[in-house]
């Protein structure tokens, strides 16, 4: 899957560019996760506010919760 940005729509959504949700990301059919969301210091958002930092594939994930910390780590491919 290619990375999508506002000027490069590489996601599979036919209706819109998923990067409109905030920041470049590996969107499939618009987002299940985004580490580029709005930062809420208390980790809470209400429905009328922009999406926060979230990882929606967790079981029973609540989209009113915004992560207050995320760390992306890259490791070399083991051959």
Residues spanned by the domain of 62: 1-79
On whether the pTM is more than 0.85, the answer is: no
- pLDDT tens track for 4-47: 787 888 777 777 777 776 666 666 666 677 787 888 999 988 87
Chain mean position to CA 36: 6
Inter-CA distances, 70 with 31, 35, 50, Å: 17, 7, 18
Inter-CA distances, 7 with 3, 4, 20, 56, 60, Å: 11, 8, 10, 25, 33
Look at the chain and report how many structural domains it folds into.
1
- pLDDT tens track for 46-60: 878 777 887 777 777
Q: End-to-end CA distance of the chain, in Å?
A: 22
CATH number assigned to the domain comprising residue 59: 4.10.530.10
The pLDDT of residue 42: 93
């Amino acid at each position: 899957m290619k990375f999508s940005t506002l000027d490069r729509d590489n996601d599979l959504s036919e209706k819109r560019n998923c990067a409109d949700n905030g920041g470049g990301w590996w969107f499939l059919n618009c987002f299940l996760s985004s580490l580029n969301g709005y930062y809420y210091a208390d980790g809470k958002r209400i429905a009328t506010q922009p999406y926060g930092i979230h990882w929606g594939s967790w079981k029973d994930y609540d989209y009113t919760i915004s992560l207050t910390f995320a760390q992306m780590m890259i490791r070399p491919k083991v051959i």
